[in-house]
């Protein structure tokens, strides 16, 4: 594996849910920190989002590895933010045999 080019500073966020007092919840995103990442397309398929305006585009986001359980290690259900752009993380795996990098499969959310 070639050394990835980590040239984008992304913010890692996780969802926070708090009760709204009526049996539901309020959803918000909590910032966990910033990670340097490389973003590459994961395919050519762009898929419309049902009942919403916009599309998702599959991406491969590479970041430096962190130990399992560390707050800086991305997990499915979290997202990356780059300004107004967000990338929902669907899967995370080691990107190389030495365990120096993680590969996050993600979808960009919003209109393209």
**Residue pLDDT, tens place only, 26-53:** 889 999 999 999 999 887 665 665 655 5
Q: Which domain holds residue 103?
A: 8-109
Q: What is the pLDDT of residue 111?
A: 46
Is position 1 within any domain? no
Number of domains in the chain: 1
For the chain, counts of helices (H) and of strands (E): 0, 7
Q: Looking at residue 48, which CATH number applies to its domain?
A: 2.40.10.270
Q: Average pLDDT, whole number, for the chain?
A: 87
Is position 14 within any domain? yes
- For residue 56, give both structure tokens: 């998702």
Which positions ≥6 away from 59 have C-beta within 8 Å?
A: 39, 40, 41, 42, 87, 105, 106, 107, 108
Q: Model-level pTM? A: 0.81
**pLDDT top residue among 106 and 42:** 106
Which positions ≥6 away from 86 have C-beta within 8 Å?
A: 79, 80, 108, 109, 110
Is position 3 within any domain? no
Q: How far apart are CA 16 and CA 31, in angstroms?
A: 10
CA 43 to chain centre: 16
């Amino acid at each position: 594996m070639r050394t990835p080019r980590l040239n984008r500073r992304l913010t890692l966020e996780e969802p926070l849910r708090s009760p709204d007092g009526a049996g539901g919840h309020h959803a918000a995103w909590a910032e966990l920190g910033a990670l340097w990442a490389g973003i590459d397309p994961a395919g050519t398929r762009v898929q419309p989002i049902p009942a919403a305006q916009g599309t998702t585009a599959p991406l491969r986001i590479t970041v430096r590895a962190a130990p399992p359980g560390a707050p800086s290690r991305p997990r499915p259900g979290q997202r990356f933010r780059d300004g107004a752009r967000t990338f929902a993380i669907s899967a995370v795996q080691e990107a190389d045999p030495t365990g120096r990098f993680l590969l996050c499969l993600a979808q960009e959310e919003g209109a393209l």
